[in-house]
Amino acid sequence: MENMQSFNMPFDETGDLCLTTFGHSVTQPGHTYGPAVRSYYLIHFILAGKGTFTVNQHTYHLHAGQGFLIEPDYQTIYQSDKNEPWTYIWAAFNGKRASAAVASLGLSQNEPIFSCTEAQGQKLADCVQKMLANNSFSLAGVYYRLGLLLQFLSVLAEAQRELLPPADNNIYITHMTNFIRTHIEDPFTIQDLADYMNLNRSYVTTLFKKYLHISPHEYIQNCRITKAQHLLESTTLPVEAIAFSCGYAKSDSFSRAFLRKVGMSPKEYRCQQGSGSIIKK
């Protein structure tokens, strides 16, 4: 069971971006939703408590300050923790530009988890509460809620800012950063990236330092370590599996890179975050 306040809107298939449903839910211990498949994009953000989210046979253990994306046509299950049931908000949308909007945030069903600061989380909650308070079907109401949806997405863009390329970079940087984020699990080299772009390796380095102010190696490391932190926080995958999922051929090289970047080992980081027990091989 859950104490839920929500609202469903008619879907305009001709629109670029259309808000379809939104709401706020205080769940009971162990409350489960799914298995379910949806026809729209759905973003949940956890205000309090804990729970699990399962998609593609992968279960994420999540807590307050985190959120998850559900894409259309994927079967998902999410369940509230039995001891600390979660409270969450959600906003769902569709339309011709919905897919591009989600991709621009660096989210996908392979990378569905995001984190927000306390201030960012409050902004997301405020957007949804204003949607719930202004749920008329008038044209003014439709435009007002669309504005709130864009504010909601802008907060997510800010939360994902370090993983996204700046708006003023050139087309080469955009393609290279997209390639890195979508192939982060592959152990590719800077030369592989240069070959993919048909560019000289030294020119790739020049572009990264000019537009991102770091080397391509540093950018790739940042993306890999950020993904590893998400997996350590939200899943019970063993460290070895996380290393491979983040593009490291050997777990010891992953541990050294993680220690240099974060200041502690992956296992120490997981214990500090309190993400649960580790599944052994």
Q: Give 101's contacts (C-beta < 8 A, 6+ positions apart).
A: 17, 93, 153
Residues 154-194: tens digit of each pLDDT: 999 999 876 665 555 578 888 898 889 888 889 899 999 99
How many Cβ atoms sit within 10 Å of the Cβ of residue 50? 21
pLDDT tens string 89-148: 999 999 888 988 898 888 888 889 999 999 999 999 999 999 999 888 888 988 999 999
Structure-token pair, residue 46: 């956890």
Contacts of 257 (CB under 8 A, 6+ apart): 221, 224, 225, 248
Residues 5-53 have pLDDT tens digits of 888 877 666 678 999 999 999 999 999 998 988 889 999 999 999 999 9
Domains and CATH numbers, the chain: 2-162 (2.60.120.280), 171-273 (1.10.10.60)
- Are the CB atoms for 269 and 262 separated by under 8 Å? yes
Q: What is the pTM of this model?
A: 0.66
Four-CA torsion 53, 58, 64, 69, nearest 10 degrees: -70
With 0-12 / 13-18 / 19 or more C-beta atoms within 10 angstroms meaning exposed / middle / buried, residue 80 is: buried
